[in-house]
C-alpha cells in the first residue's frame, strides 16, 4: 500500500499538493488533481484511519458497553444507536463488560485513551464507583439508566425507561386479573436496576393491600437458567403463588420452560409476566405478557445525545425519560 510521499515522487509534485488533490480541499489545478488521482489508483493508495484520526482529532468510533451479549434485549438498542451513528459516518465497537464493574472501569479507561470518541454505557449497577470514573473521564458518555449525583455536577447524559413503573404495571395487571399471591423474580437488590424493579413490585403490592413475605421474592441473575431454577425452588414450597412477575423476559422464559416440562399450566395454574418484550416473548408458547422497554428508542436517543456532544460541542447535561407499556399475551390472559 502506497503513501502520499510515494505518489508525490511518482508524479513529480510536492506532498502537500498530493494531499490537497486527494482530499479535495484547498487549491490544486485540474491537471495536477487528475495526475494524482490516476497515480493513486494505480498504486492502490488508501488513506489510513490512523492518519485521518490524527488530522481530524476523531476516531469516528463509539464504544457500546453491554453487560450480557446473550440477552436479545440489547440487540434493538444497538440497532437504534447504529441507525443514528451511520448517518454521521460513525462505527460501533461492542464491548462486553460481563456484568462486572471492573470491566466497566476498564472500558471507561479505554475511552480515555482515545480508542473512541464517546461511549454508551449499559450497566445493572450505576453507583458511586463507576459514576466517579465517568465524570472524571472528560469524555462524552451516555448512560442507559437514570443517575443524578448529589453534587449535581455530572458530566454525562442519560436516557432511560422507567423500570420501576414498568414492574408496577406488570404487578397491577396480575392484581386486576384476580391474583392475590404474586411472587417476584428479580436480581441482586444491592444493584441499582434490581432494586428499582423490586421496589416497583413491592410498592404496588403495598398500594393494593397485598400481603408480602420473603418467600415471595426469588433471586436470579437475568438468565433463562436462573428463571428455571427459581421455578424449581418455588415448587418445593407450600402456598405456591398464582402470579409471577419477572424482572426480565429471559427469567420469565426459563420459568415457563420449567412449567411446560412439569405439566404446570400457564395461565390456568400460574400466570407469568416478563419485562423487555423481546422477540422471544412473542415466539414462546404460551406467548409471554411483557413490558415494552423501548430498546430501539433508547439506542436512538443515546446516539443522538452523543452526537450532540461530539459534533456540536454541547457541554450541559441532558436527560430523557421514556414510558414503559404493557403487552398482554397468553401467559397471563384469563380465558
Query: Which of the four pLDDT bands, split at 50, 70 and 90, describes residue 327?
Result: very high
Nearest to 303 by CA among 62, 56, 60: 62
pLDDT tens readout for residues 222-243: 999 999 999 999 999 988 999 9
Within this chain, do residues 169 and 289 fall inside the same structural domain, yes or no? yes
* Average of per-residue pLDDT values in the chain: 93
Question: What percentage of residues in the chain have a pLDDT greater than 90?
Answer: 78
Within this chain, do residues 258 and 304 fall inside the same structural domain, yes or no? no
301, 320 in Cβ contact below 8 A? yes
Domain coverage including residue 17: 4-47
Q: What is the per-residue pLDDT for 53?
A: 52
Nearest to 203 by CA among 242, 167, 174: 167
Scan for cell 440497532, then name that residue: 79
Q: What is the per-residue pLDDT for 202?
A: 98
pLDDT tens readout for residues 42-86: 888 776 554 555 455 788 999 999 999 999 999 999 999 999 999
The structural domain count of the chain equals 3
Within this chain, do residues 188 and 267 fall inside the same structural domain, yes or no? yes
Please report, for the domain that includes residue 259, its CATH number: 3.40.50.2300
Within this chain, do residues 315 and 279 fall inside the same structural domain, yes or no? no
Q: What is the per-residue pLDDT for 49?
A: 52
Q: Which grid coordinates belong to 152?
A: 449535581
Q: What is the per-residue pLDDT for 94?
A: 97
Residue range 317-331: mean pLDDT, rounded: 97
Q: What is the per-residue pLDDT for 27?
A: 83
DSSP H helices in the chain = 4-11, 15-23, 30-42, 49-56, 73-87, 101-112, 128-137, 163-176, 192-207, 224-234, 249-261, 279-283, 295-312
| Neighbouring-strand partners of residue 64 | 94, 120
Q: What is the per-residue pLDDT for 60?
A: 92
Residue range 154-171: mean pLDDT, rounded: 97
Q: Is residue 241 part of a domain?
A: yes
Q: Is residue 328 part of a domain?
A: no
Residue range 143-170: mean pLDDT, rounded: 95
Q: Is residue 210 part of a domain?
A: yes
Within this chain, do residues 30 and 82 fall inside the same structural domain, yes or no? no
Please report, for the domain that includes residue 16, its CATH number: 1.10.260.40
Q: What is the per-residue pLDDT for 37?
A: 87
Q: Is residue 91 part of a domain?
A: yes
Q: What are phi and psi of 140, to 5 degrees?
A: -65, 120
Q: Is residue 236 part of a domain?
A: yes
Within this chain, do residues 200 and 260 fall inside the same structural domain, yes or no? yes
Within this chain, do residues 272 and 318 fall inside the same structural domain, yes or no? no
Within this chain, do residues 118 and 152 fall inside the same structural domain, yes or no? yes
Q: Is residue 20 part of a domain?
A: yes
Amino acid at each position: 500500500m502506497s503513501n502520499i510521499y510515494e505518489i508525490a515522487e511518482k508524479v513529480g509534485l510536492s506532498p502537500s499538493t498530493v494531499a490537497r488533490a486527494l482530499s479535495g480541499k484547498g487549491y490544486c489545478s485540474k491537471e495536477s488533481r487528475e495526475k494524482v488521482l490516476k497515480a493513486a489508483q494505480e498504486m492502490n493508495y488508501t488513506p489510513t484511519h490512523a492518519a485521518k484520526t490524527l488530522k481530524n482529532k476523531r476516531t469516528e468510533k463509539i464504544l457500546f458497553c453491554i453487560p450480557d451479549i446473550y440477552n436479545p434485549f440489547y440487540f434493538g438498542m444497538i440497532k437504534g444507536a447504529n441507525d443514528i451513528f451511520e448517518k454521521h459516518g460513525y462505527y460501533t465497537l461492542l464491548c462486553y463488560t460481563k456484568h462486572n464493574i471492573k470491566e466497566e472501569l476498564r472500558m471507561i479507561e479505554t475511552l480515555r485513551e482515545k480508542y473512541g470518541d464517546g461511549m454508551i454505557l449499559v450497566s445493572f449497577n450505576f453507583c458511586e464507583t463507576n459514576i466517579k470514573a465517568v465524570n472524571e473521564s472528560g469524555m462524552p458518555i451516555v448512560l442507559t439508566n437514570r443517575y443524578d449525583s448529589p453534587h449535581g455536577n455530572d458530566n454525562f447524559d442519560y436516557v432511560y425507561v422507567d423500570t420501576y413503573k414498568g414492574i408496577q404495571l406488570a404487578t397491577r395487571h396480575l392484581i386486576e386479573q384476580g391474583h392475590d399471591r404474586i411472587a417476584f423474580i428479580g436480581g441482586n437488590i444491592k444493584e441499582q436496576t434490581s432494586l428499582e424493579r423490586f421496589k416497583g413490585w413491592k410498592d404496588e403490592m403495598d398500594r393494593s393491600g397485598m400481603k408480602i413475605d420473603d418467600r415471595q421474592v426469588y433471586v436470579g441473575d437475568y438468565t433463562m437458567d436462573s428463571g428455571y431454577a427459581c421455578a424449581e425452588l418455588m415448587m418445593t414450597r407450600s402456598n405456591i403463588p398464582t402470579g409471577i412477575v419477572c424482572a426480565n423476559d429471559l427469567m420469565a422464559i426459563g420459568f415457563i420452560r420449567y412449567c411446560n416440562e412439569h405439566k404446570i399450566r400457564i395461565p390456568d395454574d400460574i400466570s407469568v409476566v416478563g419485562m423487555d418484550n423481546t422477540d422471544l416473548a412473542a415466539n414462546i408458547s404460551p406467548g409471554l405478557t411483557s413490558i415494552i422497554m423501548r430498546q430501539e428508542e433508547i439506542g436512538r436517543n443515546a446516539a443522538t445525545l452523543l452526537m450532540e456532544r461530539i459534533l456540536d460541542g454541547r457541554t450541559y447535561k441532558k436527560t430523557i425519560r421514556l414510558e414503559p407499556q404493557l403487552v398482554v399475551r397468553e401467559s397471563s390472559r384469563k380465558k
